[in-house]
Amino acid sequence: MASGNDDPRVYQALPLPAQALDNGGSEILRVGIVDDDLFVTALPAFKDPGKWGEVLAEVAERLAAIYAAEISGMSKKDVTVQIVEAFAGEMGAKPVKAPVKPSAKRTAKRSAAKRKKR
């Protein structure tokens, strides 16, 4: 537990980073779970709400690094892929299929066919 208190009736908040304590700053997002419900508080910190996409992307990268280093034994890249796929699925995005590169044989056949036409 983050605060050292094991009483389930006490909210277990994470400590502030030392750099924030030393330099100041503003908390713009807080996320917690209470009885399996997600609670979010946030400041409208940006004029352009699209900036939150950049923040969420950086949060995902940092979570992947933490998860890979301390929890799963997976690579940061693999964890990032899982996070991004889950995020996209929750947002209703359809899976993106990677473009299929033509095989070397097919490419060679196409080149030969083009030369014959000339």
pLDDT tens digits for 36-81? 999 999 999 999 999 999 999 999 999 999 999 988 778 999 999 9
What is the pLDDT of the chain when averaged over all its residues?
Answer: 82
Residues in the chain: 118
Q: What is the DSSP letter of 92?
A: T
Instruction: Dump strand ranges (E) for the chain.
Output: 29-34, 37-42
Per the listing, tokens 């997600």 go with: 38
- Residue 1 is predicted with a pLDDT of 39
Residue 114, both tokens: 């083009």
Task: Confirm whether pTM is higher than 0.85.
Answer: no
For residue 96, give Cα distances in angstroms to 5, 19, 90. Answer: 44, 39, 14
Instruction: Name the packing angle between helices 51-67 and 76-90 (round to 10°).
Output: 140
